[in-house]
Amino acid sequence: MGETEAERAATFQRLAHERLDASYRLATAILRDDSQSEDAVHDAVVLAWQRWPSLRDRSRFDAWFDRIVVNVSRNRLRDTRKRRASDLTEAPAVSTPDRTGEVDSRILVEQALDRLKPDDIVVVALRHFLDLQMEDIAILLDVPLSTAKTRLRAAMSRLRAELEREGLAQVAR
Amino acid sequence: MNERELELTLRAIGRSHVRQSAPPRLHERIRDVSETPSRSGFLSDLTWKPGSMFSAAKFIAAGVIVALFGGFLLTGVLTTQQDGEVAPAAATDSPRITYEPTDDPAVLKVISEPHRSWLDPADQGLLAIDPDGGVWVQGWSGKRAFLAKLGVPGRIGLGWNEHSGVFWSGTELEFSGDGTLWASPDGGLMSLEGGTWTKHDSTGVIDLTLAPDGVLYGLIEYPPARWTPDGVVSVVGFSIVDGEVTDVERPWAPRPGKVQALAVTPDGTVWVGGRGGGSGLFAHIGSGWLVRYDGQTAEVVRPLGEGIDPNVADLAVGPDGALWALMRTEAESYLGRYDGEAWSILSTADGLPAVGVLPLGLSAERMAVGPDGRVWFLKLGAQGENEGLVAFDGQRFQRYLVDAGVRDFAVAPDGSAWTSTGKGTYVIKPEALATIE
């Protein structure tokens, strides 16, 4: 006998509630902005509910939903970049010298990270912000393990290049 | 910085940004979203039809706006029946809109359940009604602006300035006849596409107005926000229909001052109103001009008689095709109606509340005529302060929501007047007006 709409909604709600904290962690790691992350997870919930009938194996909900969150967050990074590129009112990013070198270098690394492609930012965030294993990252990106490793290497290489360009340098290879 | 230091720095960045727990309102959103039938939630309300793109170069060469057409049709129909009831939409879930009485029997407070946590009642801005009668309200959550359709879960982020922390202060929100939503944030122009906004190359959009034939017309100051040496502001117009941009560049004789009103009557005549020249917030508030453009020539029109050039606060077109003009001179306020042959003029002696002046930066589009012919306009005080909404039924003027801080309003196809205010959303329904009358 088929599932009623109410039953489907109840199942979705339960699974989504259980996964929400983990999903929000993912979004905040990728987007580094609470408000953006909240919107991204909200959009992911809407998308997931729309696509809910297509998820046949509900035991795979967590990975399925996390992938949606990653994709939505990555798209938001792209949108943000487009807006920033076209936003004449936005002040140019300027690093503000800080009393501590640690904070200053963190700002420079974040700025360098912001100049990477969204795909690069995502893989760096998953590996270094969330400390995920490469196998888990491959699942989230929906790519083979070897591809995930290649992407991370390439992203880190581009990050180092950006840092060297900024003069924060001699980043050891 | 060596490899190890870089990794440690990245981890420190991660620690400063990664949040361990989702905010409670996200849990609320799960409930809201999943209480709509799957595949028919907010985003699936948007049905896409093919669009076409115009190159920026072509647009700039034409001297008007680049319009990227991305239309959508709303399949969810929000129809109001009796007070306190909302008819279920045919293609979506039942919108959860309820109404609460107010001290004024004609005015109802609108409660839109899914948006309780998003739509801060004290922080609403523009309001627009789509061709199907759906009511869209723009508001702020913190410093972020968003747009929500009443009764439907979900929201859409607004503005390209949200990431730079600039508070979104749009001046216009209008649907074109094809259902595309157009917004003018901070004088620019955006259209809603795929749940996200597309920014168009435009600055200084003063007014957007929907002509009787469904074409959306826009009005731009050019050069934007800048006076020419002789104190004359050039005017650029544009129209958007089915993805085609009609170049109506500078159709109107440039006049001193600032453009602030636009209307298109059914015969295709374009009317542009403005205020007099000068500078300062309230400079020359009692003078201005009205220009009529028939596609060939532009001519100055003087509804109050020769030698009198009033400040034209706003223009609107009634269902009978008549043009309405809200005007002010130094000494008096006027509401004019032009039926194609002659002007009829009402003043404060006829009960018209004194028309205030629009401070610079506020939208000029503050008058509308409903399908029943009732004229609605915002009542502004002498210093531009908001003093509620005024309705004129052809016989008398009635004021509503005097102390609510009405920010914007729109008239629905059924004649209801919906308002966004500093205290939430309110609606004045035609049946309530009929009862009072």
Following DSSP, what letter does each residue of B172-240 receive, concatenated? EEEE-TTS-EEEEETT-EEEEETTEEEEES---EEEEEE-TTS-EEEEEEESTT---TTSEEEEEEEEE
Cis? peptide before B223, omega within 30° of 0: yes
Mean pLDDT of A130-138: 91
Closest residue, chain B, to A50 (C-alpha): B39
Q: How much is the average pLDDT of A164-171?
A: 66
In sequence order, which residues have a C-beta less than 8 Å from that of residue B9 and are 6 or more positions away?
A102, A105, A106, A109, B1
Q: For residue B25, count CB atoms less than 10 angstroms from its CB and return exposed for 0-12, middle for 13-18, buried for 19 or more.
A: middle
Q: What pLDDT is recorded for position B107?
A: 93
Q: Do A172 and B3 touch (CB under 8 A)?
A: yes
pLDDT digit string, tens, across residues A62-88: 989 999 999 989 988 887 665 444 333
Interface A-B: count of C-beta contacts within 8 A: 155
- What three-state secondary structure class fits B388? strand
Residue whose entry in the numeric block shows the structure tokens 């040496």: B229
- Whole-number average pLDDT of chain A: 80
Which of B2, B13, B33 is closest, CB to CB, to A109?
B13
Write the pLDDT tens digit of every residue in B52-66.
222 222 222 222 222
List the single range of B58-62, B190-194, B254-258, B432-436 with lowest mean pLDDT. B58-62
8 Å CB contact of A128 and B14: yes
Higher-pLDDT residue of A92, A26: A26
Contact criterion met (CB < 8 Å) for A106 and B41? no
Q: List CB contacts of B135: < 8 A, sequence separation 6 or more.
A: B78, B110, B127, B128, B129, B149, B150, B151, B410, B412, B418, B425
* Partner residue facing A168 (CB), from B1, B7, B38: B1
Cα–Cα nearest to A159, from A122, A114, A126, A104: A114
- The neighbouring-strand residues paired with B247 are B238
Q: What is the pLDDT of residues B138-175, one digit of tens each?
A: 877 665 667 778 877 666 655 444 333 334 566 778 88
Alpha-carbon distance values, A109 to A34, A85, B17 (Å)? 19, 20, 14
Answer yes or no: pTM beyond 0.80.
Answer: no
Which of A61, A64, A65, A74 lies closest to A29, judged by CA? Answer: A74
- The pLDDT tens digits for B72-130 are 211 122 222 222 222 323 222 334 678 888 989 899 988 876 544 456 666 788 899 98
pLDDT band for position B281 (cuts 50, 70, 90): very low
User: Higher pLDDT residue, B247 or B205?
Assistant: B205
Residue B231: is its pLDDT beyond 50?
no
pLDDT of B294 over the 60 cut: yes
Q: Residue A39: what pLDDT? A: 83
Of A157-161, B293-297, B331-335, the least confident: B293-297
CA-closest candidate to residue B319, choices B278, B370, B254, B270? B370
Q: Packing angle between helix B3-17 and helix A145-166, nearest 10 degrees? A: 100
B69 vs B408, more confident: B408
Question: Looking at the predicted structure, is the pLDDT value of residue B270 above 80?
Answer: yes
Q: Which helix (H) or strand (E) holds A112?
A: helix A101-114
Higher local confidence (pLDDT), B262 or B383? B262
pLDDT at B344 over 90: yes
Give the model's pLDDT for residue B179: 76
CB A142 within 8 A of CB A122: no
Give percent of chain A above pLDDT 70: 80
| Chain A closest-CA separation from residue B155 CA (Å) | 9
How much is the ipTM here?
A: 0.83
Query: What average pLDDT does chain B have?
Result: 68
Q: Of residues B170 and B19, which shows the higher confidence score?
A: B19
pLDDT tens, residue by residue, A100-118: 445 577 888 988 999 999 9
Residue B418 belongs to what H/E stretch? strand B417-421
pLDDT at B277: 58
